[in-house]
Amino acid sequence: MSGASSKALAIEPLTREAFAPFGDVIELDGARQIPINQGTTIRYHDLARIDVEEGGGRPLVNVFRGQPRVLPFEVVMLERHPLGSQAFIPLTDRPYLVVVAPAGELRTDAIRAFATHGWQGVNYAKGVWHHPLVALDTVSDFIVVDRGGEGHNCDEQWLAESFWLNPEALPQALR
């Protein structure tokens, strides 16, 4: 553990309802389905609100390759993007962890952690505090849609009190 005080963080299953204060869960379950291309393709429609136009921003499409983190893992900082949303869409069926806090001034008492399952992605709303990518078990690739353009769009804040993501806090299916 670090020299600062620390505590364990509960890890919740990622659901649309639980994650709504922080942005969108990107998943096929429950999505509007539209047959296209003469019925050979299903379009899962409008999965996330991409919000990147503030200050003349434009959408960027990137691939992030996350190195696996080993649990227990100490959360010592969070970041936010004040000018745009940031969507992470996994390219593999591998779980990863999401650590977030509401937009605005960072409140450490409001930090929450979520475990993904299957192909779930997340879209952090503009200004939502979050930890950088926490891949588990193996190197994991993600399509990331975020904001390009002028202006400062990444704030980092180091925590006075760290939080631990412990393996025993994972939902049973991920242990």
Structural domain spans, the chain: 6-174
Q: How far is CA 122 from CA 8, 15, 24, 86, in A?
A: 23, 10, 6, 8
pLDDT of residue 6: 87
Question: What letter represents residue 149's amino acid?
Answer: G
Length of the chain: 175
Q: In what order do the strands lie in the sheet with 140-148?
A: 23-26, 121-124, 86-90, 140-148, 58-66
pLDDT band at 158 (very low <50, low <70, confident <90, very high): very high
Residue 49 has pLDDT above 80, yes or no: yes
8 A C-beta contact, residue 79 and residue 154:
yes
Task: Tell me which fold the domain 6-174 belongs to.
Answer: Jelly Rolls (2.60.120)
Averaged pLDDT, 145-155: 97
Instruction: Supply the DSSP symbol for 119.
Output: T
pLDDT digits (tens, 9 = 90+) for 28-42: 999 999 999 999 999
What pLDDT band is residue 1 in, cutting at 50, 70 and 90?
A: very low
| Model confidence at 4: pLDDT above 80 | no
